Protein backbone atom coordinates (compact mmCIF):
# COMPACT_ATOMS: atom_id res chain seq x y z
CA UNK A 1 0.00 0.00 0.00
CA UNK A 2 1.01 3.62 -0.62
CA UNK A 3 2.51 5.50 2.31
CA UNK A 4 0.36 8.16 3.93
CA UNK A 5 3.02 9.41 6.32
CA UNK A 6 6.76 8.92 6.22
CA UNK A 7 8.73 9.93 9.32
CA UNK A 8 12.52 9.94 9.11
CA UNK A 9 14.93 10.21 11.99
CA UNK A 10 12.63 12.50 13.96
CA UNK A 11 14.05 14.16 17.05
CA UNK A 12 11.83 16.16 19.41
CA UNK A 13 13.25 17.46 22.69
CA UNK A 14 11.88 19.41 25.63
CA UNK A 15 14.28 22.28 26.24
CA UNK A 16 14.18 23.24 29.89
CA UNK A 17 16.50 25.13 32.16
CA UNK A 18 17.21 24.20 35.76
CA UNK A 19 19.10 26.65 37.97
CA UNK A 20 20.43 28.34 34.85
CA UNK A 21 21.57 25.07 33.23
CA UNK A 22 19.92 24.37 29.86
CA UNK A 23 18.86 20.76 29.42
CA UNK A 24 17.21 18.82 26.67
CA UNK A 25 14.86 15.95 27.47
CA UNK A 26 15.34 13.68 24.49
CA UNK A 27 11.78 12.33 24.43
CA UNK A 28 11.85 11.38 20.73
CA UNK A 29 15.32 10.64 19.45
CA UNK A 30 15.79 9.31 15.95
CA UNK A 31 12.45 7.71 15.12
CA UNK A 32 11.66 6.48 11.58
CA UNK A 33 8.51 4.72 10.38
CA UNK A 34 5.85 4.75 7.69
CA UNK A 35 2.07 4.69 8.07
CA UNK A 36 0.43 3.10 5.03
CA UNK A 37 -2.90 4.05 3.54
CA UNK A 38 -5.83 2.21 5.06
CA UNK A 39 -4.03 0.64 8.03
CA UNK A 40 -4.26 0.98 11.78
CA UNK A 41 -0.68 1.50 12.91
CA UNK A 42 -0.14 1.02 16.63
CA UNK A 43 2.42 2.61 18.88
CA UNK A 44 3.11 0.88 22.22
CA UNK A 45 5.55 1.39 25.07
CA UNK A 46 5.45 2.09 28.79
CA UNK A 47 4.60 5.46 30.31
CA UNK A 48 7.19 8.17 29.50
CA UNK A 49 8.59 6.31 26.50
CA UNK A 50 7.72 9.31 24.29
CA UNK A 51 4.53 8.16 22.55
CA UNK A 52 2.55 11.36 23.18
CA UNK A 53 5.54 13.53 22.25
CA UNK A 54 5.89 11.64 18.98
CA UNK A 55 2.28 12.08 17.94
CA UNK A 56 2.14 15.71 19.07
CA UNK A 57 5.12 16.29 16.77
CA UNK A 58 3.35 14.57 13.90
CA UNK A 59 0.07 16.40 14.46
CA UNK A 60 1.88 19.75 14.56
CA UNK A 61 0.78 20.31 18.17
CA UNK A 62 4.14 21.66 19.25
CA UNK A 63 4.59 24.33 21.84
CA UNK A 64 7.52 25.28 24.07
CA UNK A 65 9.39 23.71 25.73
CA UNK A 66 8.87 21.04 23.02
CA UNK A 67 10.96 21.59 19.89
CA UNK A 68 11.55 19.55 16.78
CA UNK A 69 15.30 19.46 16.50
CA UNK A 70 15.85 17.11 13.60
CA UNK A 71 14.48 14.73 11.00
CA UNK A 72 11.64 15.01 8.53
CA UNK A 73 7.98 14.15 8.02
CA UNK A 74 6.10 13.83 4.76
CA UNK A 75 2.34 13.58 4.44
CA UNK A 76 0.72 12.30 1.25
CA UNK A 77 -1.97 15.00 1.46
CA UNK A 78 0.54 17.84 1.77
CA UNK A 79 3.27 19.03 -0.48
CA UNK A 80 6.21 21.16 0.38
CA UNK A 81 6.24 20.94 4.17
CA UNK A 82 8.80 19.40 6.44
CA UNK A 83 5.94 18.60 8.85
CA UNK A 84 2.79 20.28 10.08
CA UNK A 85 4.71 22.28 12.69
CA UNK A 86 6.03 24.32 9.76
CA UNK A 87 2.58 24.91 8.22
CA UNK A 88 0.95 28.34 8.52
CA UNK A 89 -2.06 28.63 10.80
CA UNK A 90 -4.52 28.95 7.91
CA UNK A 91 -3.08 25.84 6.31
CA UNK A 92 -3.38 23.91 9.57
CA UNK A 93 -7.02 24.96 9.83
CA UNK A 94 -7.63 23.71 6.31
CA UNK A 95 -6.07 20.35 7.16
CA UNK A 96 -7.36 19.72 10.68
CA UNK A 97 -10.58 17.61 10.77
CA UNK A 98 -10.70 17.43 6.97
CA UNK A 99 -7.44 15.56 6.32
CA UNK A 100 -6.13 14.88 9.81
CA UNK A 101 -8.00 14.49 13.09
CA UNK A 102 -6.18 14.23 16.38
CA UNK A 103 -8.01 12.69 19.32
CA UNK A 104 -5.88 13.69 22.27
CA UNK A 105 -5.67 11.96 25.62
CA UNK A 106 -8.94 12.89 27.37
CA UNK A 107 -11.68 13.73 24.89
CA UNK A 108 -12.52 16.97 26.69
CA UNK A 109 -9.71 18.40 24.61
CA UNK A 110 -11.52 17.67 21.38
CA UNK A 111 -14.94 18.88 22.44
CA UNK A 112 -14.95 22.47 23.60
CA UNK A 113 -15.72 22.13 27.34
CA UNK A 114 -17.55 25.44 27.66
CA UNK A 115 -19.84 24.98 24.66
CA UNK A 116 -22.63 22.59 23.85
CA UNK A 117 -21.62 19.59 21.73
CA UNK A 118 -23.50 21.01 18.72
CA UNK A 119 -21.24 24.09 18.72
CA UNK A 120 -18.10 21.96 18.48
CA UNK A 121 -19.52 20.25 15.38
CA UNK A 122 -20.52 23.58 13.85
CA UNK A 123 -17.21 25.26 14.67
CA UNK A 124 -14.89 22.47 13.53
CA UNK A 125 -16.69 20.39 10.92
CA UNK A 126 -19.21 22.71 9.26
CA UNK A 127 -16.57 24.92 7.56
CA UNK A 128 -15.28 21.80 5.75
CA UNK A 129 -18.65 20.36 4.82
CA UNK A 130 -20.67 23.46 3.91
CA UNK A 131 -24.21 23.40 2.51
CA UNK A 132 -27.14 24.56 4.59
CA UNK A 133 -26.96 24.31 8.38
CA UNK A 134 -30.09 22.17 8.30
CA UNK A 135 -28.47 19.63 5.98
CA UNK A 136 -25.37 19.69 8.13
CA UNK A 137 -27.38 18.97 11.24
CA UNK A 138 -29.02 15.98 9.51
CA UNK A 139 -25.60 14.67 8.61
CA UNK A 140 -24.42 15.09 12.21
CA UNK A 141 -27.46 13.27 13.59
CA UNK A 142 -26.93 10.38 11.15
CA UNK A 143 -23.25 10.21 12.02
CA UNK A 144 -23.98 10.25 15.76
CA UNK A 145 -26.31 7.30 15.23
CA UNK A 146 -23.36 5.35 13.82
CA UNK A 147 -21.57 5.70 17.14
CA UNK A 148 -24.84 4.93 18.96
CA UNK A 149 -25.50 8.42 20.26
CA UNK A 150 -28.89 10.07 20.53
CA UNK A 151 -29.30 13.53 18.89
CA UNK A 152 -29.99 14.92 22.38
CA UNK A 153 -26.22 14.92 23.09
CA UNK A 154 -25.97 17.91 20.75
CA UNK A 155 -27.60 20.18 23.29
CA UNK A 156 -25.50 18.85 26.20
CA UNK A 157 -22.23 20.19 27.54
CA UNK A 158 -19.35 17.68 27.44
CA UNK A 159 -19.24 17.42 31.26
CA UNK A 160 -22.89 16.34 31.27
CA UNK A 161 -22.04 13.20 29.29
CA UNK A 162 -20.55 9.95 30.62
CA UNK A 163 -16.95 9.16 29.69
CA UNK A 164 -18.05 6.65 27.08
CA UNK A 165 -20.55 9.04 25.50
CA UNK A 166 -17.98 11.81 25.42
CA UNK A 167 -15.45 9.54 23.77
CA UNK A 168 -18.01 8.48 21.16
CA UNK A 169 -18.96 12.14 20.52
CA UNK A 170 -15.24 12.95 20.08
CA UNK A 171 -14.91 10.03 17.70
CA UNK A 172 -17.92 11.24 15.69
CA UNK A 173 -16.42 14.72 15.46
CA UNK A 174 -13.02 13.33 14.45
CA UNK A 175 -14.50 11.23 11.65
CA UNK A 176 -17.44 13.22 10.25
CA UNK A 177 -15.32 14.92 7.56
CA UNK A 178 -13.87 11.53 6.62
CA UNK A 179 -10.24 12.53 7.13
CA UNK A 180 -7.61 10.31 5.55
CA UNK A 181 -5.60 10.25 8.77
CA UNK A 182 -6.80 9.86 12.35
CA UNK A 183 -4.38 10.07 15.26
CA UNK A 184 -5.73 8.72 18.54
CA UNK A 185 -3.85 8.88 21.85
CA UNK A 186 -5.16 6.41 24.47
CA UNK A 187 -8.73 6.96 23.21
CA UNK A 188 -10.22 4.15 25.28
CA UNK A 189 -7.98 3.98 28.34
CA UNK A 190 -10.40 5.73 30.72
CA UNK A 191 -13.35 3.55 29.69
CA UNK A 192 -14.58 0.32 31.25
CA UNK A 193 -13.88 -2.86 29.33
CA UNK A 194 -17.31 -3.22 27.71
CA UNK A 195 -17.45 0.38 26.47
CA UNK A 196 -13.82 0.13 25.42
CA UNK A 197 -14.58 -2.83 23.15
CA UNK A 198 -17.54 -0.98 21.70
CA UNK A 199 -15.51 2.16 20.93
CA UNK A 200 -12.69 0.06 19.39
CA UNK A 201 -15.24 -1.68 17.18
CA UNK A 202 -16.52 1.73 16.07
CA UNK A 203 -13.04 2.98 15.24
CA UNK A 204 -12.41 -0.17 13.19
CA UNK A 205 -15.80 0.13 11.46
CA UNK A 206 -15.36 3.78 10.49
CA UNK A 207 -11.77 3.14 9.39
CA UNK A 208 -12.87 0.26 7.11
CA UNK A 209 -15.68 2.28 5.62
CA UNK A 210 -13.66 5.41 4.90
CA UNK A 211 -10.36 3.69 4.07
CA UNK A 212 -8.55 6.12 6.36
CA UNK A 213 -5.31 5.42 8.19
CA UNK A 214 -5.19 5.46 11.97
CA UNK A 215 -2.17 6.01 14.19
CA UNK A 216 -3.27 4.41 17.43
CA UNK A 217 -1.33 5.01 20.62
CA UNK A 218 -1.74 3.06 23.83
CA UNK A 219 0.43 1.34 26.41
CA UNK A 220 -2.21 -1.42 26.55
CA UNK A 221 -0.97 -4.40 24.54
CA UNK A 222 -4.39 -6.08 24.80
CA UNK A 223 -5.94 -3.15 22.94
CA UNK A 224 -3.22 -3.36 20.27
CA UNK A 225 -3.92 -7.06 19.82
CA UNK A 226 -7.56 -6.18 19.30
CA UNK A 227 -7.33 -3.33 16.81
CA UNK A 228 -3.96 -2.60 15.17
CA UNK A 229 -2.65 -4.05 11.90
CA UNK A 230 0.99 -3.22 12.48
CA UNK A 231 2.68 -2.32 15.71
CA UNK A 232 5.77 -0.37 16.74
CA UNK A 233 7.27 -0.68 20.20
CA UNK A 234 8.85 2.42 21.69
CA UNK A 235 11.41 2.44 24.48
CA UNK A 236 12.99 5.60 25.95
CA UNK A 237 12.42 7.79 22.91
CA UNK A 238 13.29 5.26 20.22
CA UNK A 239 11.54 2.52 18.29
CA UNK A 240 12.96 -0.89 19.15
CA UNK A 241 10.73 -3.17 17.05
CA UNK A 242 8.05 -3.02 14.35
CA UNK A 243 6.05 -5.75 12.60
CA UNK A 244 2.52 -6.90 11.82
CA UNK A 245 0.72 -6.99 15.17
CA UNK A 246 0.10 -10.74 15.02
CA UNK A 247 3.80 -11.29 14.27
CA UNK A 248 4.87 -9.18 17.29
CA UNK A 249 2.70 -11.31 19.57
CA UNK A 250 3.75 -14.59 17.98
CA UNK A 251 7.42 -13.89 17.53
CA UNK A 252 8.70 -10.92 19.56
CA UNK A 253 12.43 -10.43 18.96
CA UNK A 254 13.60 -7.49 21.04
CA UNK A 255 14.23 -8.39 24.71
CA UNK A 256 12.03 -5.44 25.75
CA UNK A 257 9.14 -6.58 23.55
CA UNK A 258 9.55 -10.15 24.79
CA UNK A 259 9.19 -8.92 28.33
CA UNK A 260 6.15 -6.75 27.47
CA UNK A 261 4.40 -9.76 25.99
CA UNK A 262 5.40 -12.35 28.57
CA UNK A 263 4.23 -10.07 31.38
CA UNK A 264 0.70 -9.81 29.96
CA UNK A 265 -1.85 -11.40 32.26
CA UNK A 266 -3.16 -14.77 31.08
CA UNK A 267 -6.62 -16.20 31.49
CA UNK A 268 -6.79 -18.27 34.66
CA UNK A 269 -3.84 -16.53 36.29
CA UNK A 270 -4.55 -14.49 39.39
CA UNK A 271 -1.46 -12.43 39.92
CA UNK A 272 0.15 -10.42 37.12
CA UNK A 273 3.52 -11.80 36.02
CA UNK A 274 6.73 -10.13 37.04
CA UNK A 275 7.56 -7.01 35.01
CA UNK A 276 10.97 -5.74 34.05
CA UNK A 277 13.51 -5.02 36.77
CA UNK A 278 14.83 -1.47 37.05
CA UNK A 279 13.29 1.80 35.94
CA UNK A 280 13.04 3.48 32.54
CA UNK A 281 15.97 5.82 31.94
CA UNK A 282 16.10 9.54 32.57
CA UNK A 283 15.71 11.07 29.11
CA UNK A 284 17.70 14.16 30.08
CA UNK A 285 20.74 11.90 30.37
CA UNK A 286 19.95 8.60 28.64
CA UNK A 287 22.29 5.60 28.75
CA UNK A 288 24.94 5.38 26.04
CA UNK A 289 24.54 2.91 23.19
CA UNK A 290 21.29 0.99 23.33
CA UNK A 291 19.02 2.78 25.81
CA UNK A 292 17.70 -0.56 27.00
CA UNK A 293 21.11 -2.05 27.89
CA UNK A 294 21.03 -1.36 31.67
CA UNK A 295 17.86 -3.50 31.94
CA UNK A 296 18.63 -6.04 29.25
CA UNK A 297 19.40 -9.68 30.06
CA UNK A 298 21.30 -10.05 26.76
CA UNK A 299 23.42 -6.89 26.93
CA UNK A 300 27.02 -7.23 25.82
CA UNK A 301 29.82 -4.73 25.52
CA UNK A 302 28.78 -3.33 22.12
CA UNK A 303 25.31 -2.50 23.49
CA UNK A 304 26.83 -0.02 25.96
CA UNK A 305 28.90 1.61 23.26
CA UNK A 306 26.94 1.72 20.02
CA UNK A 307 23.40 2.61 19.06
CA UNK A 308 21.59 -0.29 17.37
CA UNK A 309 19.61 0.72 14.27
CA UNK A 310 16.33 -0.79 13.11
CA UNK A 311 17.03 -3.60 10.66
CA UNK A 312 14.80 -6.10 8.96
CA UNK A 313 15.08 -9.46 10.72
CA UNK A 314 12.53 -11.03 8.38
CA UNK A 315 10.23 -9.51 5.79
CA UNK A 316 8.35 -6.59 7.37
CA UNK A 317 9.77 -7.28 10.83
CA UNK A 318 12.27 -4.66 11.98
CA UNK A 319 14.22 -4.72 15.21
CA UNK A 320 16.99 -2.62 16.76
CA UNK A 321 19.08 -5.05 18.80
CA UNK A 322 22.66 -6.30 18.51
CA UNK A 323 21.72 -9.63 20.07
CA UNK A 324 19.22 -10.21 17.26
CA UNK A 325 20.90 -8.43 14.34
CA UNK A 326 24.55 -9.04 15.01
CA UNK A 327 27.21 -6.50 15.79
CA UNK A 328 26.93 -3.72 13.18
CA UNK A 329 26.10 -0.39 14.81
CA UNK A 330 24.79 2.91 13.43
Which residues of this protein are in contact with ligand ATP, per CB under 6 A? 14, 16, 25, 27, 45, 47-53, 65, 219, 283
Complex with ligand ATP: residue 284 or 324, whichever CB lies closer: 284
What is the rounded CA–CA span in Å between residue 72 and residue 252?
Answer: 28
* Shorter beta-carbon distance to ligand ATP: residue 185 or 247: 185
SS3 146: helix
For the CB of residue 56, give the shortest distance to ligand ATP in the complex, in Å: 8
Largest CA distance in the chain: 68
**Closer of 125 and 320 to ligand ATP (Cβ):** 320
* Cβ contacts of 228 within 8 Å, gap of 6 or more: 40, 41, 42, 216, 245
Task: Give the span between the Cα atoms of 208 and 102, in whole angstroms.
Answer: 18
Nearest approach in angstroms of CB 139 to ligand ATP is: 34
Q: Classify residue 277 as exposed, middle or buried by CB count within 10 Å of its CB (0-12, 13-18, 19+).
A: exposed
Of 3 and 70, nearer to ligand ATP (C-beta) is: 70
Tally the residues of the chain.
Answer: 330
Give whichever of 97 and 235 is closer to ligand ATP, judged by the CB atom.
235
Q: Least separation, in Å, of the C-beta of 227 and ligand ATP?
A: 17
Sign of CA dihedral 51, 52, 56, 62: negative
The smaller minimum CB distance to ligand ATP, of residues 120 and 218, is found at: 218
In angstroms, the CA 290 to CA 323 distance is 11
Helix (H) or strand (E) holding 135: helix 133-146
Q: How many CB atoms lie within 10 A of CB 298?
A: 14
Q: What are phi and psi of 311, to 5 degrees?
A: -130, 155
CB of 184 to ligand ATP, least distance (A): 13
Closest contact distance (angstroms) between CB of 54 and ligand ATP is 7
Least spacing, CB of residue 218 vs ligand ATP, in Å = 8
For ligand ATP, the closer of residues 105 and 112 by Cβ is 105
Residue 259's closest CA among 280, 288, 238? 280
> Phi-psi category of 150—alpha, beta or left, where left has phi over 0 and alpha has psi -120 to 50?
beta
Least separation in angstroms between residue 271's CB and ligand ATP is 24
Amino acid sequence: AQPLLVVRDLQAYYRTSHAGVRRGIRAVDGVSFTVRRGEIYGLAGESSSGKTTLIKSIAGAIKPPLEIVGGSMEFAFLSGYGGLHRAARAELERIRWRHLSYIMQGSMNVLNPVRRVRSSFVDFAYPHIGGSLKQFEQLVVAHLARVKLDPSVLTAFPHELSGGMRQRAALALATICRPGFIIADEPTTALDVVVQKEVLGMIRGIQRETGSSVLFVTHDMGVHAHITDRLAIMYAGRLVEEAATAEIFRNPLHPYTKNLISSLPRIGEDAPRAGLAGAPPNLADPPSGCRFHPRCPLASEICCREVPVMREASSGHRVACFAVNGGDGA
